[in-house]
Structure formats: C-alpha cells, structure tokens
Amino acid sequence: MENERVTPVTGTYDENSIQVLEGLEAVRKRPGMYIGSTGERGLHHLVYEIVDNSIDEALAGYCDKITVDILDDGVIKVTDNGRGIPVGINHQKGIPTVTVVYTILHAGGKFGGGGYKVSGGLHGVGASVVNALSSWLEVEVRDGKHVYKERYEKGIVKEPLKMTGDTAETGTTVYFKPDPAIFTDTTRFDYDTLLKRLREQSFLNAGIRIILTDKRTDADLPDRSDDLCFEGGIRSYVDFLLEGMKKEKLNKDVIYLSTSEKDSTAEIALVWSTAYDSRIVSFANTLHTVDGGTHEQGFRTSLANVVNKYAFDFKKLKEGNARLKGDDVLEGVVAVVSVKLADAQFESQTKAKLGNTSIGKLVRDLVNEKLYQYLEENPDEAKIIIDKAIAASNAREAAQKARDASRSKSAIGGKVRMPEKLKDCISDDPTKTEIFIVEGDSAGGSAVEGRNSTYQAILPLWGKMLNVEKARVDKVYGNEKLTPVIVALGTGVAENFDINKLRYDKIVIMADADVDGSHIRTLLLTFFFRYMPELIETGHIYLAQPPLYRVAKGKRYYDAFTDEERDRYIEELGGNVDVQRYKGLGEMNPEQLWETTLDPEHRTMLKVNMADARLADETFSVLMGEEVEPRRRFIEENAVFATDLDI
Ligand code: 1YM
C-alpha cells in the first residue's frame, strides 16, 4: 500500500508551533523542574513517564502486556498492546493527537481535564517532556488497520506522522535516546533500577504483565530479562518482601483489605511473620512514599487499635491488663499499603511523604472495620497475632528492667561502674580508642599483655556460649555476656541508645575461626544489629582476623589467613619452609597476638556492614530459634561449621 501523509489543518499551525517551541525551550532550559534531576534518577524517570502511559492504558482495560527493552547506544524501547495513541486530527490544535501528546507541554494523559492520572510518574508531565529531553524519539502507533510513525529530534517533529504499512494489531511503540547534552552525568541505564520500579508497578497493578529485557550487546553485560506479572497484586508483594527478609509467615495467608470512596481507593496486604521488626511499604498513586505519610500512619495507629479492641472484646486480654503498645502489635508485621487518590499532596519535592489527611481516615476506617471482621472470622489467626504481640510486650518489659539495672550508678560521682573484667585503656578520647571483645579467658590474658594499653581496652567474655538459649530478646538482655558489653560501650541500648556516649572508636570482636568463635560472633553481631544498629551503620564494628598459619624460612616469615595464601607463601619462599598452624587466639603469646591481630600497622580487620549483621541475625534466628526443624536443616547444610554443636 502507498504511504499517506496525515496533514495538519493549516489554519492553526503557527500558533501551535510557537506554543511547541516555547514549551520545549522551557523544558530544555530547566529540565530539573520537570523531571526532578538530570542525574541518574532523572534519566530513569524518562522511562517511567513513557511506561506510565502504557499502564494507564492497562488500567483503562485495553492493554495487558508492556515490554521495555534496553537497547545499545542508550536507546529505550517501550511497547504496549493497547489501543494505540489516537492519530486522528485533534480539533483544538489541528494536528494529530499523537503529535499533541508528544510535542505540547502538559498535554500528557488526559488533556482537557477530568479524571486523574493514577499511574503517577514523578512529576506527571508525560511524553512531551521525555521527547524534549531526547536526542531523538520515534513513536509508532498500530490501530488495527495501519501502522503510523512520527520522528522527533529534541522534541521537534523531524518526520511528520505518516502511514507506513498495514497491521491487524493495536498498540503503541516508542523508541527514544536521552540527550547526553542534558544528562551530562550519565546516559547509561541501570537494569536493576528499572527492574525495581517496574516490579513495583506490576505488584501494584495486579495482572499487568511487564517484560524488561537488557538487549545491550556491550561487553560483559549478562543477558537479563524479567517477566513480571503478579495476579495476586500487593498480596504477592508481601510474599516477595518475606522472601527477601528470609522470614516465614505466622498467619496462614496474607490478609487483604480494600475499600474505595468517590475519589480514592485504599488497599492493604499484611501478614505477621517471625521477624522481630516490621516492614511496611507504602505507595500513593503507585509512587513509593519512602517517608510514609498519612496513609502509612493511619495504618500503624489503627492496627494497634483493632488488635487491642479485639483482644479485650474477646477476653484475650483481661480488663485490668495494659493495652498492647503499637510497637508490640507491629512486631513481625510485613505490609504493603497502597492508596490512589485525586489531588495527592506530597510534603516534599521527591514525593516521599503523603500529606492528604482524608486518606489517613480512609485507611483507618478500612483497618478498623475490615481487620476486626477478619479477626472475628478467623479466631485461630487472631490468637497467633495476639500471642506474638504479647511475647513482644513481655520481651520489651524484660529489656526495660535489664536496661534499668545496667544503668544503675554507683554512689560516688554518678559514674557508671565499669565491668570487673574490663581492662580499660588509659586514654579516654573516644575518637582514638579501641575495645577488643575477646572470646575466652586465656586469649583475654594474652591480649591484655600484648595490647597498647594507651588506647586499647580488652573485654574478655568468659564461659561457653549459650548454645540452646532461645532467641528471645529478654534472654539476650539478661545475658551475663552482654551486660558487660553494654556497660563498657557506654551508649545504652535500643531507644536509649546515644552514639555520642560511645566510649571507643573501634569495637573489635576477636574470636577464633571455630564453632565457639562463630557463636560468639553471631551473638554479638545479632545483638548489635537489633539493639545498636547505629554502631554498624556508622562503621564502628569490626571483626579481628587472626591469621591461620605462619610460613617461615630463616628470618623471613609471612602470616596467612587462608589455605590458598599459605600455599602461595610456601611457593614464594621456594619450599623447605616451616609452617606453623595457629591453633587459636588462646595459644598465641602476647607478642604474637600483638603482631598478628592487635597492631594497627600489621593487623587485618573486617569492617562489619548492615548486610553482614543481617545475615548474622538470620543465622542466629535459625541456630537459637524455637523451631527445631529449620535448625536441624541449617545444621545439616552447614555440617562442617556445626560438627560439635550441642543441640
Ligand atoms: C509506549 C507508550 O503511550 N500508550 C497509549 C497511550 C494512549 C492511549 C493508548 C490512548 C488513550 C486514550 C484513548 C484515552 C494515550 N492517549 C492519549 C491521548 N504507550 C502509550 N495507549 N486512546 C488511546 O486516554 O482516552 C494520551 S496517552 F491523549 F491522546 F488520548
């Protein structure tokens, strides 16, 4: 068939082109005003803006598949199987509607007012902004009969809309290349960044299928593709979060609540899990509200209300009992709260916090009514929830007692008495001092002798690790090993924690590479992770790395930390060497301990990050937890590590 030009109505052409050029100029002059930034975030937002139009089409019920391809040369391709952007002449503007959408500022979504855009790109400015900020952009529309194409450069029509062929399909495809003159930091798309946002979108819009594929042929990029479609919507999202946290559901199923009012909807998926903290992820118009806001706050407060109301109404708590605190009810909760509303008000430019008060009420009413109903109808689930909150409450009270005890001050001077076992350093400059928490008395003795007592303090932890003690926090607090640590560090714990009171710059856990050592490490890291996470976040926690071997030949020697390293040194020294295996910290003499583990000039230490600590927390839960089955499984899978574990 012959190509056919779709010609604009000429009468309004000049007017339009002035409007177009002014709009383009504004966007290119101040891109930040339209997409937030011209950094990596802004770059990725271009993709979301285009995809949002496809999602709107899906929400309207006309599209069920969206593909996003990352192509070579910084090009993105987005395709959907919707109706296709209208190609007919727009009566107001006298040019094709698709051209209006792509060239006239603020004409995205539904021009002419009415309705609201719920898929919510960052600033809701749409296709024309993406176009203005792209070196070139091509849009292809399939309307079930014909294929139409238009090409723009920096937002200006370069090849006007023309029919290029026939098709039985419908849909829209957009190719674009962000302009490197605008995105001066980078024009390189990050797969994981796109994946995160598109996954969120597919969770929040149940049933929509989004396929992301990295088609770049550049060096060392693995082929990646994710086919995202979640029939369960935000229920699937909760399962996904649990998987990431490696926690199990306590309830049989994820609980789902939803409601709608004239201009707004709220839906919540939640479950109680084996976790000790809570994870609540909230969205407004599908934008992740990182800092929460009225919707999230409404959820938190009403959750505590409902559980208390049910507990008292159904005599799970007696009349004289104290109410369960919000934090106790929240322990272990994993939830997704998603609201959609017209005229969303955000408290910050980045849309991280929702401000609309009416939506807070909608969420509260939803939880108060429907969750109560759920508890009434599912008494077994209600019991699980209340038992978890009561356990949390007991643990919190025990913790409070332990804290009060550890804060008791001696009569003179109001100074806290330091633990008897602590061999403190002379300096009290908390930016220079170090404390070594040492497993075992003999290693402690060597460390005390071997250290530089000006700035190195030693705290030996004596006795065997409490193998079978349960993971409950009250045990962790009352624990005879941890109290001296809390007192020596000086910061207090949990909500009383104050990093400004920290008495040392480096807190070094010094334990052997055997079962007892790894128990101590796991216990301490778990404890820091749960009750003093700021110490980890601010990089104060370290693991000492005592070497495993000394390889010596004559006067030359090397300390090796792994078998491979040992073999390398043996080779380097040309064989015929003396290899000594360090049996453990306790068997090193003070000089050796100083040389290998304490001396800042020679030692190797690992700085602990939150990921390490989280892993320890998980290991701890498995090792010390109440459930025998996962513990048995863990030990089987880690047989070497746990050969003489006493279970
Ligand atoms: C790859 C990007 O933009 N898809 C898309 C956009 C639209 C429609 C369908 C659509 C919407 C409507 C009617 C309507 C848009 N249309 C407009 C406008 N994919 C992509 N798919 N028919 C088709 O909203 O009534 C803006 S976006 F304004 F022209 F209707």
Over residues 486-535, the pLDDT tens digits come to 889 999 887 778 999 999 999 999 988 777 777 788 878 888 888 888 99
| Other Cβ atoms within 10 Å of 1 Cβ, number | 8
Q: How far apart are CA 628 and CA 605, in angstroms?
A: 34
Residue-wise pLDDT for 267-281, tens only, equals: 999 999 999 889 999
Which residue's entry shows tokens 């919540």? 268
Say what percent of the chain tops pLDDT 70: 84
Q: Does residue 424 have its Cβ closer than 6 Å to ligand 1?
A: no
Q: Does residue 82 have its Cβ closer than 6 Å to ligand 1?
A: yes
CA 284 to chain centroid: 18
What pLDDT does 192 receive?
94
> Residue 316 — very low, low, confident or very high, per pLDDT cuts 50/70/90?
very high
pLDDT at 320 over 70: yes
What pLDDT does 110 receive?
38
> Residue 597 — very low, low, confident or very high, per pLDDT cuts 50/70/90?
very high
Q: Does residue 172 have its Cβ closer than 6 Å to ligand 1?
A: yes
Number of the ligand 1 atom closest to the C-alpha atom of 109 = 26
Roughly what angle, to the nearest 10 degrees, separates helices 482-489 and 515-531? 50
What pLDDT does 622 receive?
63
CA 494 to chain centroid: 21
What pLDDT does 527 receive?
82
Q: What residues does CATH 3.30.230.10 cover in the chain? A: 234-398
Structure-block tokens of residue 89: 């002449």
Q: Does residue 99 have its Cβ closer than 6 Å to ligand 1?
A: no
Number of the ligand 1 atom closest to the C-alpha atom of 100 = 29
Q: Which protein residue has the closest C-alpha to ligand 1 atom 7?
A: 85
Of the candidates 146, 131, 130, which has an alpha carbon nearest to the alpha carbon of residue 45? 130
Residue of 514, 565, 612, 618 with catalytic role: 514
CATH dotted code for 234-398:
3.30.230.10
Q: How far apart are CA 322 and CA 303, in angstroms?
A: 16
Structure-block tokens of residue 49: 């803006």
Pairing of strands 224-228, 556-560: unpaired
Helix count (H) and strand count (E) of the chain?
21, 22
| Other Cβ atoms within 10 Å of 422 Cβ, number | 17
pLDDT at 420 over 90: no
Higher pLDDT, 304 or 108: 304
pLDDT at 421 over 70: yes
Helical H segments across 293-367, by residue range: 294-313, 326-330, 357-366
Q: DSSP class of residue 576? A: -
What pLDDT does 381 receive?
97
pLDDT at 252 over 70: yes
What pLDDT does 604 receive?
85
Q: DSSP class of residue 628? A: H
Average pLDDT over residues 592-603: 91
Of the candidates 376, 366, 207, 349, which has an alpha carbon nearest to the alpha carbon of residue 299? 366
Q: Which of 18-32, 54-68, 99-113, 316-330 has the lowest mean pLDDT?
A: 99-113
The edge-to-edge listing of strands for the beta sheet with 541-544 is: 456-461, 434-439, 506-510, 541-544, 605-607
Best-predicted range by mean pLDDT (104-118, 179-193, 579-593): 179-193
Q: What residues does CATH 3.40.50.670 cover in the chain? A: 413-546+582-641
What pLDDT does 482 receive?
80
Higher pLDDT, 112 or 604: 604
The edge-to-edge listing of strands for the beta sheet with 209-214 is: 4-5, 156-166, 146-153, 134-143, 170-178, 75-80, 65-71, 209-214, 224-228
| Other Cβ atoms within 10 Å of 428 Cβ, number | 11
CA 500 to chain centroid: 27
Average pLDDT over residues 447-464: 88
Q: Which of 52, 59, 85, 170 to mutate to test the pocket of ligand 1 (most atoms within 8 A of CB)?
A: 85
What pLDDT does 639 receive?
35
Q: Does residue 50 have its Cβ closer than 6 Å to ligand 1?
A: yes
Q: Which protein residue has the closest C-alpha to ligand 1 atom 25?
A: 110
Q: Which of 48, 51, 53, 169 to mutate to test the pocket of ligand 1 (most atoms within 8 A of CB)?
A: 53
Q: How far is the CA of 229 from the centre of ligand 1 (A)?
A: 22
**Mean pLDDT, all residues of the chain:** 85
Pairing of strands 506-510, 456-461: unpaired
Of the candidates 115, 378, 552, which has an alpha carbon nearest to the alpha carbon of residue 370? 378
pLDDT at 462 over 50: yes
Number of the ligand 1 atom closest to the C-alpha atom of 98 = 29
- Beta bridge partners of residue 209, listed in sequence order: 65
Task: Give CA torsion, residues 154, 156, 159, 161, to 10 deg.
Answer: 120
Residue of 365, 449, 516, 567 with catalytic role: 516
pLDDT at 148 over 90: yes
Helix, strand and coil in the chain, % to nearest 5: 40, 20, 40
The CATH architecture to which 413-546+582-641 belongs is 3-Layer(aba) Sandwich (3.40)
Helical H segments across 408-440, by residue range: none
What pLDDT does 205 receive?
93
Identify whether 223 is a catalytic site residue: no
Q: How far apart are CA 510 and CA 594, in angstroms?
A: 13
What pLDDT does 588 receive?
86
> Residue 403 — very low, low, confident or very high, per pLDDT cuts 50/70/90?
low
Best-predicted range by mean pLDDT (92-106, 129-143, 316-330, 499-513): 129-143
Q: 3-state class of 547 per DSSP?
A: coil
Q: Which of 125-129, 222-226, 251-255 has the lowest mean pLDDT?
A: 125-129
Roughly what angle, to the nearest 10 degrees, separates helices 482-489 and 379-407? 60
pLDDT at 114 over 50: no
Q: How far is the CA of 98 from the centre of ligand 1 (A)?
A: 8
Average pLDDT over residues 150-156: 97
> Residue 409 — very low, low, confident or very high, per pLDDT cuts 50/70/90?
very low
Q: Which fold has domain 25-228?
A: Heat Shock Protein 90 (3.30.565)
Of the candidates 299, 352, 357, which has an alpha carbon nearest to the alpha carbon of residue 330? 299
What pLDDT does 630 receive?
54
What pLDDT does 349 receive?
62
Q: Does residue 68 have its Cβ closer than 6 Å to ligand 1?
A: no
Residue-wise pLDDT for 348-363, tens only, equals: 766 689 999 999 999 9
What pLDDT does 106 receive?
63
Roughly what angle, to the nearest 10 degrees, separates helices 357-366 and 294-313? 30
What pLDDT does 614 receive?
81
pLDDT at 138 over 80: yes
What pLDDT does 240 receive?
96
What pLDDT does 6 receive?
43
Q: How far apart are CA 276 and CA 129, in angstroms?
A: 45
Identify whether 261 is a catalytic site residue: no
| Other Cβ atoms within 10 Å of 319 Cβ, number | 6
The edge-to-edge listing of strands for the beta sheet with 549-553 is: 556-560, 549-553, 578-581
Q: Does residue 66 have its Cβ closer than 6 Å to ligand 1?
A: no
Of the candidates 151, 141, 161, 124, which has an alpha carbon nearest to the alpha carbon of residue 33? 124
Is residue 544 within 8 Å of residue 509, measured between CB atoms? Answer: yes
Is residue 248 within 8 Å of residue 273, measured between CB atoms? Answer: yes
pLDDT at 464 over 80: no
Q: How far is the CA of 109 from the centre of ligand 1 (A)?
A: 7
Residue-wise pLDDT for 539-573, tens only, equals: 999 999 888 888 998 888 888 888 898 999 999 88
Pairing of strands 434-439, 456-461: parallel
